[in-house]
C-alpha cells in the first residue's frame, strides 16, 4: 500500500509539474506575439492672415463736452483698449485702422445723431507717447469770428475753397486756415494752424497770419491736397483736403488715408502702423491698442450716432 501511495504521489507531482511547465510555455508563447510600430504625423500649415478683435463694442457714458472717455467711463467692461489676437498662421508686422465720420458739419445742428462717435476715437502707440486720431474729419466754417486770418472768411469764399475751421480734441481746439492756389480747387494751396490751443479759459492763438505757412501739395494719384502739421507740442498729423473742398482730414493711424506713404508726410511716415515691423504679432499672440474718446466742446447731450472702428493687419 505504501508503494502505491508513493506511485500515486509521483504521478500527481509529475502532472502538476507538467501542467506548470505547459502554462509557463503558453505564457512564453503569448509574450512572443506582442509587437509595436510607429506612425509619423506630418502637418503643413497654410499661410493665412486672420485676426480676432475683442471687445466687439465700446460704450462710454457719463461724459460731457470737453471730457475724455477712458476705462473709467467705458460701461461694458471698463475697457482701456481693444485686443487684437493673431489667430492665423503668419506673423503680422503691420496693423492700422479706419474710423467712420459724419458726412456733413455736425456742430451747430443741435442733433446728436449728426455726430459720429468713431470720429472722436483716439489710439495710443507707445513709440510716440501720444493718443492720436485715426482719421479725424473736420468741416469748414463760414465765419472766421475773432481769429485773424490771411483771408477774411465769408460764406461765398468758403464755396470757393478758402477754408477756415478747427481741429477739435476734447477741451482744446486748434484753428486752421487754407488758401487754395486755384479757386474751387483744394488740391493745392497754403495751410496755417494755431500755435497754441483755445480752451474754455483761454482764446489761445488768435492770429494765424504770423504762423508758419505750410505748402499743400497735390496728391500724386488722388484728387487731394496733402501736407503735414504738428499740432501744438504733440504729434504730427497728415492733412488731406479733397479737391472739392468739402472737408479736412487729420489722420495718423490709417495707412489707407490720402497722403499715407508719401514723402509729403515724412514725419508721420512709419506712424501709419500702430506696431513696429521689428516686433511682429506672432500666431497665437495678443496685441493691445489703447483707446480713448475725445468729446469736443459743443457736442449736444444724448446718444451720438454709433460709429465703427475697422482694424487691418498685414504680414
How do residues 33-90 score in pLDDT, each as one tens digit?
889 999 999 999 999 999 999 999 999 999 999 999 999 999 999 999 999 999 999 9
Residues with Cβ within 8 Å of 85's Cβ and at least 6 positions away in sequence, in order, are 51, 52, 53, 54, 284, 285, 286, 287
Q: Which residue has the higher pLDDT, 211 or 25?
A: 211
Query: Over 70: is that where the pLDDT of 18 sits?
Result: no
What is the pLDDT, as a whole number, of residue 278? 57
Assigned C-alpha cell, 218: 497735390
| b/e 251-277 (16+ beta carbons within 10 angstroms → b) | bbbbbebbbbebebbeebbebbbbbee
How do residues 122-154 score in pLDDT, each as one tens digit?
998 665 567 999 999 999 999 999 999 999 899
How far lies 186's CA from each of 16, 230, 283, in Å? 112, 20, 44
Query: Over 80: is that where the pLDDT of 270 sits?
Result: no
Query: Over 70: is that where the pLDDT of 229 sits?
Result: yes
Q: Three-class SS of residue 6? A: helix
Query: Over 80: is that where the pLDDT of 288 sits?
Result: yes
Query: Are residues 122 and 252 in contact, defined by beta-carbon separation less than 8 angstroms?
Result: no
In the predicted model, what is the mean pLDDT of residues 98-102? 98
Dihedral sign from CA coordinates of 247, 162, 179, 130: negative
What is the pLDDT, as a whole number, of residue 32? 77
Query: Are residues 289 and 309 in contact, defined by beta-carbon separation less than 8 angstroms?
Result: no
Q: What's the mean per-residue pLDDT of the chain?
A: 88
Dihedral sign from CA coordinates of 14, 15, 21, 25: positive
Q: What is the pTM of this model?
A: 0.86
How do residues 160-186 score in pLDDT, each as one tens digit?
999 999 999 999 999 999 999 999 999
Query: Over 60: is that where the pLDDT of 305 sits?
Result: yes
pLDDT band at 15 (very low <50, low <70, confident <90, very high): very low
Helix ranges (H only) for the chain are 2-32, 155-160
pLDDT band at 7 (very low <50, low <70, confident <90, very high): very low
Separation CA 114–CA 54 (nearest Å): 27
Which sequence spans correspond to the domains of the chain? 51-314
pLDDT band at 299 (very low <50, low <70, confident <90, very high): very high
* Cα dihedral 141/173/274/260 (nearest 10): 40
In the predicted model, what is the mean pLDDT of residues 278-303? 92
Separation CA 99–CA 137 (nearest Å): 10
Separation CA 133–CA 174 (nearest Å): 14
Amino acid at each position: 500500500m505504501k508503494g502505491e501511495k508513493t506511485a500515486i504521489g509521483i504521478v500527481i507531482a509529475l502532472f502538476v509539474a507538467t501542467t506548470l511547465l505547459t502554462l509557463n510555455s503558453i505564457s512564453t508563447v503569448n509574450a512572443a506575439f506582442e509587437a509595436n510600430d510607429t506612425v509619423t504625423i506630418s502637418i503643413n500649415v497654410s499661410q493665412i492672415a486672420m485676426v480676432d478683435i475683442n471687445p466687439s463694442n465700446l460704450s462710454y457714458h457719463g461724459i460731457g463736452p470737453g471730457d475724455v472717455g477712458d476705462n473709467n467711463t467705458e460701461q461694458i467692461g471698463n475697457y482701456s483698449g481693444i485686443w487684437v489676437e493673431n489667430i492665423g498662421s503668419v506673423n503680422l508686422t503691420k496693423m492700422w485702422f479706419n474710423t467712420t465720420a459724419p458726412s456733413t458739419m455736425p456742430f451747430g445742428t443741435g442733433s446728436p445723431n449728426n455726430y459720429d462717435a468713431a470720429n472722436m476715437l483716439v489710439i495710443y502707440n507707445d513709440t510716440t507717447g501720444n493718443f492720436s486720431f485715426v482719421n479725424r474729419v473736420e468741416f469748414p466754417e463760414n465765419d472766421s469770428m475773432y481769429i485773424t486770418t490771411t483771408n477774411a472768411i465769408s460764406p461765398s469764399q468758403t464755396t470757393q475753397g478758402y477754408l477756415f475751421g478747427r481741429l477739435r480734441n476734447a477741451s482744446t481746439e486748434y484753428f486752421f486756415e487754407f488758401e487754395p492756389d486755384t479757386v474751387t480747387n483744394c488740391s493745392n494751396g497754403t495751410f496755417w494752424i494755431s500755435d497754441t490751443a483755445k480752451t474754455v479759459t483761454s482764446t489761445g492763438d488768435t492770429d494765424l497770419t504770423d504762423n508758419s505757412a505750410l505748402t499743400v501739395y497735390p496728391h500724386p494719384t488722388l484728387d487731394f491736397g496733402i501736407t503735414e502739421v504738428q499740432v501744438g507740442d504733440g504729434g504730427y498729423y497728415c492733412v488731406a483736403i479733397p479737391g472739392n473742398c468739402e472737408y479736412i482730414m487729420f489722420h495718423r493711424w490709417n495707412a489707407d488715408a490720402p497722403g499715407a506713404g508719401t514723402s509729403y508726410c515724412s514725419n508721420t511716415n512709419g506712424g501709419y502702423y500702430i506696431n513696429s515691423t521689428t516686433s511682429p504679432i506672432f500666431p497665437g499672440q495678443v496685441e493691445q491698442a489703447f483707446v480713448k474718446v475725445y468729446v469736443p466742446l459743443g457736442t449736444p447731450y444724448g446718444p451720438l450716432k454709433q460709429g465703427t472702428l475697422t482694424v487691418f493687419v498685414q504680414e
